[in-house]
């Protein structure tokens, strides 16, 4: 899968789904949750349980590259910014 997607904003809303925490950009005061189609796609995407985290441009740590790839394949506009977990964001 290509790693060329660029996430346009720093995320403001988050949702944890089957071990994959997904962040979404939203204007202040608006919650932009993922669609049922996206959630179903991520849930049905086959991956291993191997722990080898990568940090996405959405500042979310993905359990492994396969989990990251599932999010991208299902429509998340993100790219890998580093191998390993993301640093905590203070806000």
d(CA 88, CA 60): 9
* Distance, C-alpha 24 to centroid of its chain: 8
> Which of 3.40.470.10, 3.40.50.2300, 3.40.50.2000, 3.30.60.30 would CATH assign to domain 13-83?
3.30.60.30
Q: What is the mean pLDDT of residues 15-39?
A: 57
Question: What pLDDT is attached to residue 48?
Answer: 92
Q: What's the confidence (pLDDT) of residue 8?
A: 41
pTM over the 0.85 mark = no
Report how far residue 38's alpha carbon sits from residue 77's, in angstroms, rounded to the nearest whole number: 12
Can you name the residues that pair with 54 across neighbouring β-strands? 62, 83
The pLDDT value recorded for residue 26 is 44
CA distance 40 to 70: 11
Beta bridge partners of 56: 80
pLDDT tens digits, 64-89: 999 999 999 999 999 999 999 998 75
Map out the domains of the chain as residue ranges: 13-83
In this prediction, residue 74 carries a pLDDT of 93
């Amino acid at each position: 899968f290509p790693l060329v997607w660029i996430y346009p904003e720093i995320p403001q809303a988050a949702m944890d789904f089957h071990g994959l925490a997904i962040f979404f950009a939203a204007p202040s005061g608006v919650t932009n949750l993922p669609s049922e189609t996206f959630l179903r796609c991520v849930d049905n995407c086959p991956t291993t349980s191997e722990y080898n985290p990568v940090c996405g441009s959405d500042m979310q740590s993905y359990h492994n590259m396969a989990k990251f790839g599932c999010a991208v394949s299902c429509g998340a506009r993100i790219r890998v910014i580093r191998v390993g977990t993301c640093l905590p964001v203070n806000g």
